[in-house]
Amino acid sequence: MRKIEHIGIAVKDLNHSNELFAKLFGEPHYKIEEVASEGVNTAFFQVGPNKIELLEGTNPDSPISKFIEKRGEGIHHIAYDVQDIRAEMSRLESEGFTLLNKEPKKGADNKLVCFLHPKTTNGVLIELCQDAG
């Protein structure tokens, strides 16, 4: 893992949260994107060298909607930039971590992604990200 790629925050209302975080950061979001396969709309903010991703579920069965129903709005995941996602997935699985997907999936912001089950990471949902190229 090379660096934190972004921090994901689950929100109920993306438009409202975009306004709130724009005031907080002093800059508007730079991108909004739907990831239909995951049932989520995302917005990205650049904060210095760091990125914040806001996530809003697009239907009641989406992982984000279920997360908010159980835990409320807040930090959803921490994403780490990796050079070779498949090699990192193999390494982490051999170390005993549980992968939530066996193959990288297309994620937001032109990334290939894989999530680690929070039961194997002290309750933190970890996302691996590699530029899709």
Tens digits of per-residue pLDDT, 94-131?
A: 999 999 999 999 999 999 999 999 999 999 999 999 99
Q: How far apart are CA 33 and CA 77, in angstroms?
A: 18
**pTM for this model (two decimals):** 0.92
Q: How far apart are CA 44 and CA 31, in angstroms?
A: 5
Please tell me whether residue 64 adopts helix, strand or coil conformation: helix
- As beta bridge partners, residue 106 has 112
Of 56, 62, 53, nearest in space to 7 by CA: 53
